[in-house]
Structure 1
Amino acid sequence: MENLIIKKAYVSDVLQIQAIARQTFSETFSDVNSEENMNKYLDESFAIEKLTTELHNSSSHFYLAVLDEKVVGYLKLNTADAQTEKENQNALETERIYVAKEFHGKKVAQALYAQAEQTAQELKATYIWLGVWEKNFRAVSFYTKNGFVQFDTHIFRLGDDEQTDLMMKKVLL
């Protein structure tokens, strides 16, 4: 993937973020969730207004994975009060790493994760943490391979379905 570029995303990229977010979330979870719950989540979580607000938040950081001018994945990081759970102010949350299904296994997620680590170093974060659905075995394996360990669980609501996320962290040196 020598032509892969990871670039910071801005408010002007909101439509690209919305498109890749809806695509990748659907590809990852639509087979194991009801259509009603998926539609509700996609409409609420990836609404232009919500994404625009998140992009304006200086404690959130978005990055796009671009291959030959096509967005194939994205990353969302949160610091301070933007974190989805009350974690340490010096922690960095990786809220989303999503890659289009056709690019799974092609090191795109690894490149996005490398950006997360670089951002953590720049921000002098003491650790990186995330929540990952317990039944997303591919993602759990990816994070474990990258040195994350489970430290807790929390509930993730997808429509009217309560799902268990594993909370994982990697302490930085």
Structure 2
Amino acid sequence: MFVRTAGDRDLAAIRALLVETWHATYDAIYGAERVTEITDAWHSIASLKARLAKPNSEFLVADDGQRIGGMAFAEALDGGVVMLKQLYVQPGLQGRGIGGMLLDEIIESFPEARAIRLEVEEKNTRAIAFYQANGFVQTGRTDNCGSAQSAIPALVYERPLAA
């Protein structure tokens, strides 16, 4: 796998990856129907396309020339903080270093950043273990992960960066 900037031609594959990954991760927590509602709202082609042109952001994919095996999206916030909004690896490819490659490239894309922050569902123990292994520490919680009205509680993790 190699990491590159996402483009229009990748959107259908990214959406498929997100739907598969969300169902594999969250069906047991929220139920398949709620996960479908979330993925339809948050991971529609239109919503993904809007991220391609978002200023002060980076939208990446891990690609092996045959398929998209992972994706990441982050944006710079005020105060030198980068918010990692998404980092997902296809379930069958997890544990092979793809997530680490995507995370490293996101960090390199924001050389002036002083910290990187993310929100993670507290029952997503695999993701929490991944982020902790990559230097993140819990700094708080939110009742609305992803959007102001999501009603999805999450833990907030942050990692300082050398600016």
With structure 1 as the length reference, what TM-score do the two structures score? 0.84
Aligned 8 A contact 1:37 1:161 in 2? no
Deviation at 1:75, TM superposition (A): 0.5
- State the AA in 2 paired with 1:13: D
In 1, distance between residues paired with 2:136 and 2:98?
A: 18
Normalised TM-score (structure 2) = 0.89
Identify the match of residue 164 of structure 1 among 136, 153, 158: 153
Summarize the Cα distance change of 1:11–1:89 in structure 2 as closer, same or farther, 3 Å threshold. farther
Q: Distance in 1 between matches of 2:150 and 2:115?
A: 30
Return the alpha-carbon distance in structure 1 between the equivalents of residues 145 and 106 of structure 2: 25
Change (3 A) 1:161 1:120: closer
For residues 28 and 152 of structure 1, what CA distance do their matches in structure 2 show? 22
SS at match of 1:162: coil
Q: CA deviation at 1:19?
A: 1.8
Distance 1:130 1:36 in 2: 25
How far residue 67 of structure 1 moved from its aligned partner, in angstroms, is 2.2
- Identical-residue share of aligned pairs (%): 23
Counterpart amino acid of 1:74? Answer: M
**Amino acid of the structure 2 residue aligned with 1:110:** G
Instruction: Determine which structure has the larger strand proportion and give its number.
Output: 1
- After TM superposition, the structure 1 stretch with the greater mean CA deviation from structure 2, 94-103 or 58-67, is 58-67
1:96 maps to: 86
Q: Where does the alignment leave 5 or more consecutive residues of structure 2 unmatched? A: none
**Which of 34, 37, 43 pairs up with 2:34?**
37
Q: Which residue of the partner structure matches residue 64 of structure 1?
A: 61
Q: 1:105 deviation in Å? A: 1.0
Matching residue's letter, 1:6: V
Q: What secondary structure sits across from 1:125 in the alignment?
A: coil
Unaligned runs of 5+ in 1: 81-87
When residues 72 and 8 of structure 1 are mapped into structure 2, their CA distance, relative to the original with a 3 A threshold, is: same
In 1, distance between residues paired with 2:42 and 2:133? 28
TM superposition shift of 1:20: 1.6
Contact 1:27 1:100 in 2 (8 A): no
The alpha-carbon deviation at position 68 of structure 1 amounts to 4.1
Correspondences of 1:15-164 after superposition (within 5 Å)? 15-80=12-77, 88-121=78-111, 124-156=112-144, 162-164=151-153
- Secondary structure, counterpart of 1:163 in structure 2: coil
8 Å contact 2:119–2:145 — kept in the other structure? no
* Contact 1:62–1:76, Cα closer than 8 Å, also in 2: yes
Alignment check: 8 A CA contact 1:76 1:94 kept:
yes
The number of aligned residues is 160
